[in-house]
């Protein structure tokens, strides 16, 4: 795109004076990401947790809701961290009352990591209103609009993954 001098204003026009839709979409995506980052920072601060801790807790709650169990190795693989880092993470979350370790029901050499009821409540209170607002926007889309958005975001994720900048699994877990 040729520079028109309007780039810093947030209005993206091509050389013919027409809106450059590609640039406008990327700007909107960046604006969303900036807003999401600010909310994540605020959430981390209010919960007194780091980003990895929150990702782990959300993963544990999601898996628990599906009726499955998580062993430390699952958490390591999901987060892409070492077993030593996972042990430290679980220690932190256990010390803060967000998870507990229990003996694995069928493998006595292993433990399962279970989020506490208090954690579930805290996450729902902290993130619930925001998630409801976001869901309301998503649910307001027509089926065709939703398909277009999903297709676009999947293709953007693939474009980033192809450059080695992001792993698609990590990208999808950040939501």
The domain total for the chain is 2
Answer whether residue 2 shows pLDDT above 60: no
Q: Residue 139's CB: how many other CB atoms inside 10 A? A: 8
* Helix locations, 48-142, DSSP H: 51-65, 72-79, 83-95, 117-139
Does residue 3 fall inside a structural domain? yes
Q: Residue 49's CB: how many other CB atoms inside 10 A? A: 19
Question: 67-109 pLDDT, tens per residue?
Answer: 999 999 999 999 999 999 999 999 999 999 999 999 999 988 9
Q: Which domain holds residue 100?
A: 48-115
Does residue 7 fall inside a structural domain? yes
Does residue 108 fall inside a structural domain? yes
- Half-sphere exposure at residue 142, Cβ-oriented, CA atoms within 13 angstroms: 2
């Amino acid at each position: 795109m040729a520079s028109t001098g309007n780039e810093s204003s947030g209005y993206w026009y091509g050389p013919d004076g027409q809106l450059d839709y590609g640039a406008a979409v990327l700007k909107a995506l960046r604006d969303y990401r900036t807003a999401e980052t600010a909310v994540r920072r605020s959430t981390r601060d209010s919960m007194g947790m780091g980003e990895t801790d929150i990702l782990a807790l959300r993963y544990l709650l999601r898996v628990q809701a599906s009726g499955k169990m998580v062993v430390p190795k699952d958490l390591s693989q999901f987060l892409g961290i070492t077993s030593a880092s996972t042990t430290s993470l679980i220690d932190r979350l256990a010390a803060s009352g967000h998870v507990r370790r229990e003996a694995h029901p069928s493998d006595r050499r292993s433990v399962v990591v279970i989020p506490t009821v208090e954690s579930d409540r805290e996450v729902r209170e902290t993130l619930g209103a925001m998630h409801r607002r976001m869901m309301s926007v998503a649910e307001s889309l027509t089926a065709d609009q939703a398909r277009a958005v999903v297709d676009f975001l999947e293709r953007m994720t693939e474009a980033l993954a192809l450059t080695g900048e992001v792993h698609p699994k990590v990208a999808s877990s950040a939501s």
